[in-house]
A and B are shown apart, each in its own frame.
Chain A
Amino acid sequence: NAGVTQTPKFQVLKTGQSMTLQCAQDMNHNSMYWYRQDPGMGLRLIYYSASEGTTDKGEVPNGYNVSRLNKREFSLRLESAAPSQTSVYFCASTDRAVTEAFFGQGTRLTVV
């Protein structure tokens, strides 16, 4: 039982490059989330998907796009990376009632 799998674990981008962070869960959860974690700011919600086919903005959506490809997969895309997007990114999933969240191991992204 893998839980939530995020790839890649580490990434270095140059300013202006694009990339997609992948996330997959095998718990049949309805809701999936992307957070970024920066020192002193906790986890800030970028986007979430309450169910397959829906996505909504969180606190800090600018510069990001998401795709809920199917119930299992929720990807985060940076179209034109900026140094301000240097952060640790976490994917998470919950059941519909948000009774417990399961997290991926994180992606450490550096934009130079």
Chain B
Amino acid sequence: AQSVTQPDIHITVSEGASLELRCNYSYGATPYLFWYVQSPGQGLQLLLKYFSGDTLVQGIKGFEAEFKRSQSSFNLRKPSVHWSDAAEYFCAVGNDYKLSFGAGTTVTVRA
């Protein structure tokens, strides 16, 4: 069965600082991997996705993620956060006709 782990429940970062959110997955083969963002009271927006090929994936809003097969990880990064990046971030894995999510990481941005 596939599963997703996001080890960090909450991260606080200063505006302008870099951000890295961790995601580990469990699946027998290489799954499809996703990062979604959810602002308070809103639905989910896709930031980026990985299927195959280049292991460094660029997404919207200046985010990128790196797939590391050896570590079963798909960490999300942003070089310089903006106050508007305060939100909850979800990693997801898709395959076998299912899409499973991690528990999420809440990001707080301080001025």
> What is A's interface to B at a CB cutoff of 8 Å?
30-31, 33, 35, 40-45, 48, 50-51, 58, 90, 92, 94, 96-101, 103-106
**B101 partner, pick from A42, A98, A104, beta carbons under 8 A:** A42
In the A-B complex, list the 9 residue pairs whose CB atoms are closest, starting with the nearest. A98-B94, A50-B97, A42-B103, A43-B101, A42-B104, A103-B44, A42-B101, A105-B43, A103-B43
Given that A42-B90, A43-B90 are known contacts, is A100 also in contact with B97, CB under 8 Å in the complex? no
**A98 partner, pick from B43, B46, B97, B103, beta carbons under 8 A:** B97
Residue B11 at the chain A interface, CB threshold 8 Å:
no
**A100 partner, pick from B6, B49, B100, beta carbons under 8 A:** B49
* Inter-subunit contact A40/B103 (CB<8 Å): yes
Can you name 12 A-B pairs with beta carbons within 8 Å?
A33-B99, A40-B104, A42-B90, A43-B44, A45-B100, A45-B101, A48-B98, A50-B98, A92-B99, A94-B94, A96-B97, A99-B32
